[in-house]
Amino acid sequence: MARRYDPDRRERIVEAAVRVVTEHGIAGLSHRNVAAEADVPLGSTTYHFADRDELLAAALKRMNDEWLAGLADRLAEHSELPLAERLARFVGHCLGSDRAETELSYELYFVGLRNPALRPLSAELLESVADLLRPVVPDPVTARLLTATVDGLLIQLLLSGRDYDEREAAVLFERVLAPRAPADRTGSPPADATG
């Protein structure tokens, strides 16, 4: 029997892997579950993805790409607003209508602590966020600092369950973006900064 031409099969398998992880968590991810979700033969998943780690990496990559696209949209949206406000709105979106996806993204993100195969994807996400921010901030260091601030704020809020205060977040981002006088070589602030 001729093999059916199915050029989108790999993509459907990746989408199915994301759905399986979303519905059943990382523990529920298996070639068998993904094949059933994608409505493909089990051999198709093992043909495209040699093992469970490859399936997990593909799901994480897809989720990273979607998260980055959301950030890019939020940065472009209301471009007349200060960057601090746009970032605060983005964090609110991550904790509001996209909360389930955000929680899952961080669950996958932290799997990299015990699974070295996934660490490059987590590092790539952080680098990509900084790349998105570089054109709208004064320098690469500020882009990295903002990336760490967004990441840290989301982790704290997801773990603590504390209510999100968008205005407070905007002030936090404003502080990160505020120009500062350089410290002297000892790391102390300039004398006039202390008053």
Give me the domains of the chain, ranges plus CATH numbers. Answer: 8-50 (1.10.10.60), 61-177 (1.10.357.10)
Write a three-state SS string for 60-96.
HHHHHHHHHHHHHHHHHCCCCCCHHHHHHHHHHHHHC
Task: Give residue 189's pLDDT.
Answer: 53
Nearest to 147 by CA among 136, 161, 163: 136
Average pLDDT (132-153) is 93
Average pLDDT (36-53) is 93
Mean pLDDT across the chain, nearest whole number? 87
Distance CA(23)–CA(148), nearest Å, equals 29
Q: Is 195 a residue whose pLDDT tops 50?
A: no
Write a three-state SS string for 41-59.
CHHHHHHHCCCHHHHHHHH
Element (H, E) at 193: none
> Sorting pLDDT into bands at 50, 70 and 90, what band is 185?
low
Distance CA(170)–CA(75), nearest Å, equals 14
pTM of the model: 0.79
How many other CB atoms sit within 10 Å of the CB of residue 85? Answer: 17
pLDDT in tens, 59-109: 989 988 988 898 899 889 888 999 999 999 999 999 998 898 888 888 888
Task: Give residue 109's pLDDT.
Answer: 81
Helix (H, G, I), strand (E, B) or coil at 3: coil
> Sorting pLDDT into bands at 50, 70 and 90, what band is 159?
very high
